[in-house]
Structure 1
């Protein structure tokens, strides 16, 4: 299968086909991990499918996660064994079949502070964790856990404080390039015929005789409004679920005889903010991650491609949902807890980046006062009106199961004759990855690159590295590092705009690359070079290029200023004051 390119041309063609009057089998609202997963699930069943996303792929929660694919040890404590087993089964599939180049096994240490009971208690839990990973009948993709002495812990993680552990357990989970997985799911969907249109906002529903028959949408790039017809509409908008359920035109909202409102018949979602800080790889000495419990959440110290990611917070969020940001209290909280286990204390000066995301937690009405740290992450799909199916809850790791479930519910009886195929369906770039990985020394020699450069490319593109190399063969200057960000090649920027759907500067700096939190100045040093390369692909004028640069600079200034604010209200006010490069309609609508 040849991988389809997501480009401005493919977007235009997708919009033209969607507004032609053709009735799609499935239309998905939302371009995060669940929406992209549902689009692929439906397309691989042989259905005609479209996806509409108001901003960029993975622009919400799906690019702001802890970058982990994991079973969820904390859910063992909640006795949620089914959820853990499901997540561990999906972990194995992602590692071995679906996305082996984007999902990579990583060791973690669970440090002990008590000699006997903690080793027995946690050891039993991790033995169950390993056992549940076999229950799905798929390859685990990671080694079994192993008990460590105090010496063994410090040998694996020299940067741990002497009093932070009297021993521990090493176990494995996996890390993921979260935004890239969403992009590659969308490309895989397009390769199977799905129509993908980002920067296209759903502003209302079409209905006929009490049934949803499509949506009214607006192309935010051109300003054009148009109708999209579909037999079934799926809402996969995460923390925006209730807004999706409340859009104009839903049959129950206009039917005065309806006994319930669309929201009460659908799902309620509570937003919880999870914030992370990023520090240089040189500041922490260790060959594994660390996991420990805090009074509010779980502390992760995660090795990440030359950096360390430290997270996470878990706090209620009651503000605008598009751009959650870190505040001063968030940063201090993570630093304080990290320093309780690290030998060399971290300070604010060590923080080179931050990012925040909102978890979509299902919220039963009767539990409205419950702390978000206690709410289960299990997902639920519902049908607020005939022809509309919504899904919320869950966790990043189980996106594929969520996608299968919501498509099954939307199809009803037809799902039996069109079962999901995604459990064994590799994404683009997966097939041939192992071969290219074995050829990495040859590739490095041919292009005069260090081996770590090729490893970096393979972990981002898999077998699609061939397409990137074709760009370099045609234009050798694209094989040079970006000005101001030497870890990325210029070809990666061109490829992001020509093949991965990047339409604006922020799309590349925050999601196709990770420069917005991998560098202290948030990618500003590379922004001019990135903008010039994108302009060559997208045809920006000098004025448009400057507009992109100005927009991103203002965003960076606001986010840096927000980090010095005492609370979410003050921090959010600064970030929300910066206009988006392409504003959505209304307030905080996905």
Structure 2
């Protein structure tokens, strides 16, 4: 069994080990930054624990715009160091760290005003290219170029020819955020980190009673069985995003050192047929980036669908399950339809998701103007809080947090993650073009194998072996033909999935890419999980019932007129993990 497999047996062993040992670094939070910190510390040779209250990437890290980008709009804020850092991380992810999960993607920036707009945006795109060039001797994305009105409409026929005067084409990159975060967790586990999901931190252990008494560990509630245990550590890193203030509150009188505000970002998913996106001469299907009154709007190709997003509004309600309202949906449709010749309608929407960005508290009233920079602070000895930043720069945030956490530990080497491939990436160049051969030997359709390659990289054999052992697992899931039954079994045996929601929402994206939002696949997926995890009939039915209730609560929230009523509707379905 691979050391990177997050199997039920591995979870049991890690739970026992964490309760018995004193780890060098204990990380709270299984989003991309926390996972990155666990990998950073483990790859330096330190003993590491990683705790996540729900599922890996269950919060912000599975609800992003699915982009790895420098942030073109931040150039207007003169945030040149932030953009440069993010663009260099983009290069590392595309070239080395996760090339199977992160791929270059072209965007069109439509021009709708006279010549000054082309000059202004063109200068910004040129600067964007220049800031990303230092590490790109072998450039992973092409340079920007200007398109005429005719070339623009040919590349993206859905654009209104009466208002579009041309476009600037530039490149960024796209990622399956949940699967990428999972790959970071699995890679950390491969380096020896003990990783535990469904493990909620309920308190901090202190060595003394004063406000500056060092933190020496945490109290944990295991949400799989209701038990509690403690984990002791030489240093604790809290990478909890919009939950950072909760950890600060556990310090009592000690100042938390940083404050975080939550900004809600809502995304719509519509079928490919809803927008005539066309293609570029090289065959690439481009996305759009549009200016809005408060921010920017992306139209992003995503398999056989489009993602339209995002909003950027303050959120002070439930953080576990942020809700999209009808006002959010209407805003996104209004903005995108300003430039489309055939409007996207509400009845074409097949998926909606909302996530919360953790922004460092500042003076600005609008969350869209708060800094996307990050901070790592030590409010009391033994505790590091890291927050802010953006998905693209998770690795830098993680390295900074581990640097701060290991100041008192002698002989700790520097971070090595800049050139460390994740699970699935090490032999990507050797397997990336092997879909025809693998299809021939596995009996699967070539397009199914191609999709598996971009989900699992050079670990595709783990899934294909399941199909060879049981050909029935090579069948598509009911209601979700883009996924195989084998992927469900693999999600349980190797990817740490504990609940039906984990599989339908994060190991796959059936919850946002099918009109039924996963309810049509739920019974079959639950049956596969039951066989692997030993669920009885009652547990299996409970998982399906919960999932259906969650989907209905989300649909109801999206009919509500504002944040408060949408939040109340969404809370009608409780979290599948037991309350503590």
Same fold (TM over 0.5): yes
Q: 1:311-350 maps to which residues of 2 (within 5 A)? A: 311-350=309-348
1:304 partnered with 2:275: no
1:51-74 alpha-carbon deviations (Å, 9 max, x no partner) = 010100000000000000000011
For 1:139 and 1:269, how far apart are their aligned partners in 2? 38
- Offset at 1:449? 3.1
Report the equivalent of 1:523: 518
Report the equivalent of 2:67: 68
Report the equivalent of 1:15: 15
Match of 1:222 among 222, 225, 234: 225
Native 8 Å contact 2:432 2:453 kept in 1 = yes
Report the equivalent of 1:246: 249
- Offset at 1:450? 3.0
Native 8 Å contact 2:11 2:196 kept in 1 = yes
Report the equivalent of 1:294: 292
For 1:536 and 1:140, how far apart are their aligned partners in 2? 47
- Offset at 1:583? 3.1
1:488-537 alpha-carbon deviations (Å, 9 max, x no partner) = 00000000011000000000010001011111211111101100001111
For 1:135 and 1:224, how far apart are their aligned partners in 2? 51
1:203 partnered with 2:202: yes
Report the equivalent of 1:356: 354
1:401 partnered with 2:403: no
For 1:293 and 1:415, how far apart are their aligned partners in 2? 50
1:211-259 alpha-carbon deviations (Å, 9 max, x no partner) = 1110011111111111101000000000000001212xx3xx3xxxxxx
Report the equivalent of 2:425: 430
Report the equivalent of 2:273: 282
Report the equivalent of 1:121: 120
Native 8 Å contact 1:53 1:200 kept in 2 = yes
For 2:329 and 2:436, how far apart are their aligned partners in 1? 41
Return 490-499 or 516-525, whichever deviates more: 516-525
1:501 partnered with 2:500: no
Unaligned runs of 5+ in 2: 278-284
Match of 2:527 among 529, 532, 542: 532
Report the equivalent of 2:31: 32
Report the equivalent of 2:238: 235
Q: Does the C-alpha gap of structure 1 residues 208 and 137 become closer, same or farther in structure 2, counting only changes over 3 Å?
A: farther
For 2:139 and 2:83, how far apart are their aligned partners in 1? 13
- Offset at 1:575? 1.1
- Offset at 1:137? 5.8
1:5 partnered with 2:8: no
Report the equivalent of 1:258: none
Report the equivalent of 2:104: 105
- Offset at 1:135? 2.6
Report the equivalent of 1:269: 260
**TM-score, structure 1 normalization:** 0.95
- Offset at 1:141? 1.4
What number of residue pairs does the alignment pair up? 569
1:557 partnered with 2:552: yes
Unaligned runs of 5+ in 1: 254-260, 586-590
Match of 1:381 among 376, 393, 417: 376
Report the equivalent of 2:440: 445
Native 8 Å contact 2:27 2:236 kept in 1 = yes
Match of 2:539 among 540, 544, 555: 544
Native 8 Å contact 1:34 1:402 kept in 2 = yes
For 2:453 and 2:136, how far apart are their aligned partners in 1? 28
- Offset at 1:15? 0.8
For 1:49 and 1:495, how far apart are their aligned partners in 2? 25
For 2:10 and 2:488, how far apart are their aligned partners in 1? 18
- Offset at 1:139? 4.8
1:483 partnered with 2:481: no
1:187-233 alpha-carbon deviations (Å, 9 max, x no partner) = 00000000000000111111114111100111111111111010000
Native 8 Å contact 2:91 2:135 kept in 1 = no
For 2:144 and 2:417, how far apart are their aligned partners in 1? 29
**TM-score, structure 2 normalization:** 0.96
Q: Does the C-alpha gap of structure 1 residues 139 and 388 become closer, same or farther in structure 2, counting only changes over 3 Å?
A: farther
Native 8 Å contact 1:85 1:136 kept in 2 = no
- Offset at 1:444? 1.7
Report the equivalent of 2:282: none
Q: Does the C-alpha gap of structure 1 residues 267 and 140 become closer, same or farther in structure 2, counting only changes over 3 Å?
A: farther
1:578 partnered with 2:573: yes
RMSD: 1.4
For 1:416 and 1:166, how far apart are their aligned partners in 2? 59
For 2:186 and 2:504, how far apart are their aligned partners in 1? 19
Q: Does the C-alpha gap of structure 1 residues 526 and 226 become closer, same or farther in structure 2, counting only changes over 3 Å?
A: same
For 1:346 and 1:3, how far apart are their aligned partners in 2? 46
Report the equivalent of 1:213: 216
Native 8 Å contact 2:91 2:136 kept in 1 = no
1:357-378 alpha-carbon deviations (Å, 9 max, x no partner) = 00000003xx1x5210111100
